[in-house]
A and B are shown apart, each in its own frame.
Chain A
Amino acid sequence: MDNFTPLSGFAGGALIGLAASLLLLGVGRIAGISGVMEGIIKPGGERRDWRLAFLIGLPLGAILVAVPAPELLPHMEVNASWPLLAVSGLLVGFGARIANGCTSGHGVCGIPRMATRSIAATIFYFGSAAATVYVIRHLL
């Protein structure tokens, strides 16, 4: 198991859980990022203030690592071409909102609520993603 980083993985995961918990118990909202994004750009959407604040926090959190502790920053490696990135982005955005949730909304927030929709969604997107990686890395 190359590149396995259990300690930082676990710590980071706990922080993600804490963040989602704060949003739920603090303002009563689900930390589903695709949903937050949809709420911001939806015509006639309301209550944008908490959504914008949450979304702005995401890159700020990364900066909080980059500035004081750049050695903790993961080494970013993007191998996809621009057309592939565009197609990937379209699918991720469209698919997530058709399903009304993604890894954060259905995965992190939905499963602890034992929502069967979220459990089903998670099974399907993990399965689909794993199949995609298999085809790209081992078949093509």
Chain B
Amino acid sequence: MTARRMAIALVMTIAVLLSPLAIVDAHRPVVSPYTFHRDIQPIIEKRCGPCHAPGGVSMPLLRFEDARANTWPMRQALMSGRMPPWYAEGDLLKAPEQISTRELNMLMTWAAGGAPEGVATNHDATVTARAWALGKPDVILTMPVPFRFDPATTEATHEVKLSSRALQGRWIRAADLMAEAPSIVRRAEVVIKRPSGEDVVALWQPNDVPPTLEGNAAFLVPSSGLVLRVHYQRQTLDPAVLSDRSSLGIYFASPTPVPVRSLEIAESVPASGDRVIVKRIDRQVRAVALRPVDGPADGEARLTLIDASGARRPLARMQLRGGWARRYVFAKPVLLPAGSRIEVSITTTPPGFWTTLTGDSQTGSQRLRLALDVIG
């Protein structure tokens, strides 16, 4: 090719590249008008700290450098619903204030639209030391011996029996955990072990306000005491943080406690598609809370109460994600009359369907287990 022809080809190529007609508009790219310091950090601080603060249990996000480095995981977690980790909705449920639609859109737009920093401020996102969320507990029990991480592992579950004369014959309405090393305490359960199984007294997640049940619902502590089960997780194999000696705060019930029992709904569900499960209520009870126990990781369940006349009342809608076990409390006990039915409509996608986009790699279980905490 002659020099003249090469020159013409070069100019034409560049002209084509600069021409807007040459840009294949797969769809319009996102450009963020939001900047980190002015718009995004306040949202992260309010909705995501202190779990995502330095020293928290999850990846730090409060500094620009950390958030910028994690824009893709942020997008995955936010759009999949994995974060923030509150997986039930319904007008009958008590719920903390959730991330708003506007805030979610701002975070996603920022993360997808170039993640601009903006003008740095003097604001240092700080995390206030955690206090007992329900006030001073009636009894505080500390793990008798600190848990120590095996240096070669990043996850561990530690179970310890806690008993005290102060608990004997008492009724518990709530329990809270104060971790000595919060950066490694991922979640915890407080249970009463029985020959037939376990009564779940409390399910603890970092920075949750422990839920209390309505209707004076409470758990009677047996002579064998309580079992605290703590799930530990380290982000790295940093040898600096290796031990924890958490304390459990116990809140006693009012003088007229009502015992809680569990109604479980359990059935196998297909790997993908829809399934409807119906549980008949034989004896009138009042539901004070519901607890997803297990199920397909990408499953969504809708609970509906159907009374004897066929009238339907939505109870709740939830994602069946593992790793964030919670008790979702009804704002008022929900009457389940004898002869009524609980319908659970569950929808799933094939395991791994979304993994490449959302990063969700858990498959969960093909056996759905939901528990209703009831009284009466």
Partners in one complex: no
Which residues of A come within 8 Å of B, CB atoms? none
Residues of chain B whose beta carbon lies under 8 Å from any beta carbon of chain A = none
